[in-house]
Amino acid sequence: MNKTTDIDSIVKMLKEADQPKSDFVLLMDSFKDPYLVLIACILSLRTNDKTTYPATLRMLKLGKTPKDFAKCDVKKLEKAIYPVGFYANKAKQIIELSKELVEKYDSQVPNSIEELTKFKGVGRKTANLTISLGFNEPAICVDVHVHRIFNRLGYIKTKTPDETEFILREKLPQKYWIDINTLLVTHGQNICKPIKPLCDRCPISKYCEKNL
């Protein structure tokens, strides 16, 4: 087997490395409610974890259910989530999405990517994360870390996160689908950074194309 395709060893080593997770990743992992995963993921888009984490905690003081946010004052929500990126748009999006959940879905978050992506502003990344963390069902959430690291390893050769997701659906064993996002986000934040990755500290460096 080619080193770059030894995904079992790669996942095992990343789990054993036990790299520190950001507070936001830990918070997302603790959620068992699809709705909380969904709205927290919306906040996180185009915003770093250090900003998203306290903003999510402030948001949760205003409510934790679709009914809570369906009637939430938009200015109050804007103030709570500031300074996440596009905070005004995200506040409106969360309120409108919550209203739609209450009125059309009996306050229940749908558990299919097809249904989730019907909501305005909900892309495949957010939908997949909601399925995997919120429902604990197999789904591959591909963000910039997952896309970057799998390409650096040579496990795939893709140009976009969406392309990466569909290739991984065919290639990555389903037993890893739920965990892979947290593992690679954590690895990407600590070691395999976009610029100046810490290759000398990488537990899976021998599987990286740079070292083959």
Percentage above 90 pLDDT, the chain: 95
Grade residue 133 by pLDDT with cuts at 50, 70 and 90: very high
Alpha helices in the chain (DSSP H): 7-17, 23-30, 34-44, 49-60, 66-70, 74-81, 87-105, 113-116, 124-129, 144-153, 161-171, 177-190
**Rounded-to-integer distance, Cα 97 and Cα 100, Å:** 5
pTM over 0.85, yes/no: yes
- Sign of the four-CA dihedral 179, 185, 189, 195: positive
CB 151 within 8 A of CB 158: yes
Grade residue 211 by pLDDT with cuts at 50, 70 and 90: low
Long-range pairs of 115-118 with CB within 8 A, sequence gap ≥ 24: 116/38
Grade residue 2 by pLDDT with cuts at 50, 70 and 90: very low
The model's pLDDT over 152-203, given as tens digits with 9 standing for 90+, comes to: 999 999 999 999 999 999 999 999 999 999 999 999 999 999 999 999 999 9
The model's pLDDT over 68-115, given as tens digits with 9 standing for 90+, comes to: 999 999 999 999 999 999 999 999 999 999 999 999 999 999 999 999
